[in-house]
Amino acid sequence: MIKASIDIGSNSVLLLAGEYKNGVVRELLNESRITGLGENIDRDKRFSESSMVNTYSVLEEYKDLLNNISLSSENTIVTATEASREVTNAKDFFERVKSNLGFNIFLISSEGEAYYTAKGLMNSVTNSQKNEFIIMDIGGASTELIKVVKNPFAIVETISLKMGSVRSTDWIATNQYEKELAINLSHPALKNFQCAEIICVAGTMVSLAGLLLNLKAFLQDAIEGSHFSISELESLEKKLISMTPEAINAEFPFLGKRSQTISGGAQISLALQKALGVEMIVISTYGLRYGTLIAGGIDEQFII
């Protein structure tokens, strides 16, 4: 059966439509748009009007795309994550979306975010002989660290840090970066996620992989399964810090609006991976929206 899922994140809104059969997702739609929903949430504790307009417009577009393949917005699995957990006006915004567009948006916990991210990613890990993995999911406002076993699938441990590419960019602009980074890196459970190799998902790390591959256009097949060393990431981070967002976008046009936050994302990803002792980074383009599509819905225990 063909299904669809939408991930409303703190920086992007992602759409996946396809059929899950015999362990494989046959994709019909795979779309990504930057809306910056989590911008300045630490300061304002509200979604800004402009970010809600952008997100609403993207959801309108996605509704049309789904209608074109005979899928309804009412039957689409839609999740919202960290930014939506932090603000005071998420409920009103989501009710307006449901009333006008038909999308029923589930606000899920950090544990749910980790579970479905891992579920989606593990579906793509078919060739590895390993059974335990550490996953890092850097979003716009949070970063999930997930320890998971593949067979049988189970989450061993997960933590959610209040750091992401959008938050980091805001911290840098307000001279709060060092302070906020130190708070997050002092999390007592970080020691449980020490590893030499880590699998990274979501827009920040996928985009950084595209930069390291010197891509001018986004090529999922080229990025999926690519890997690079922590020293390569460090060199890229230094380059991005020295560039303006406009210069970054001119050199790597596939980034689009993500060029505004990619430097901040690179900085927190490098700092966190150094703290974990990471030597090698593996990139996966799979994640939350794949996990919810494969599961076919959201378990009530994860709904806030």
Report yes or no on 118 lying in a domain: no
Question: 187-193 long-range CB contacts below 8 Å, 24 or more apart?
Answer: 187/159, 187/161, 189/157, 189/159, 190/145, 190/159, 190/275, 190/276, 192/147, 192/157, 193/134, 193/145, 193/147, 193/157, 193/159, 193/276
At 151 the pLDDT is 85
Report yes or no on 115 lying in a domain: no
Residue 303 DSSP class: B
Judgement on whether residues 103 and 192 belong to the same structural domain of the protein: no
Judgement on whether residues 88 and 228 belong to the same structural domain of the protein: no
Judgement on whether residues 138 and 257 belong to the same structural domain of the protein: yes
CATH assignment at residue 100: 3.30.420.40
Report yes or no on 121 lying in a domain: no
At 128 the pLDDT is 66
At 39 the pLDDT is 87
Report yes or no on 216 lying in a domain: yes
Q: What is the mean pLDDT of each successive set of 10 residues along the chain, which is 304 residues long?
A: 93 94 90 90 90 96 96 95 90 96 96 92 75 91 92 92 92 95 96 95 91 89 92 96 94 90 95 96 93 94 94
Judgement on whether residues 268 and 143 belong to the same structural domain of the protein: yes
Helix and strand totals (H; E) in the chain: 13, 11
Report yes or no on 122 lying in a domain: no
At 150 the pLDDT is 87
Total domains, the chain:
2
Judgement on whether residues 294 and 277 belong to the same structural domain of the protein: no
Residue 261 DSSP class: T
Judgement on whether residues 171 and 146 belong to the same structural domain of the protein: yes
Question: DSSP labels for 106-141?
Answer: EEB-HHHHHHHHHHHHHTT--S---SEEEEEEE-SS
Judgement on whether residues 86 and 234 belong to the same structural domain of the protein: no
CATH assignment at residue 246: 3.30.420.150
Report yes or no on 81 lying in a domain: yes
At 127 the pLDDT is 66
**Are β-strands 197-201 and 132-138 bridged in parallel, bridged antiparallel, or unpaired?**
parallel
At 38 the pLDDT is 86
At 126 the pLDDT is 63
Judgement on whether residues 272 and 147 belong to the same structural domain of the protein: yes
Report yes or no on 131 lying in a domain: yes
Judgement on whether residues 91 and 158 belong to the same structural domain of the protein: no
Domain extent at residue 159: 127-283
Distance CA 261, CA 245 (A): 8
Judgement on whether residues 272 and 152 belong to the same structural domain of the protein: yes
Distance CA 156, CA 122 (A): 14
Report yes or no on 116 lying in a domain: no
Q: Is the peptide bond before 152 cis (omega within 30 degrees of 0)?
A: yes
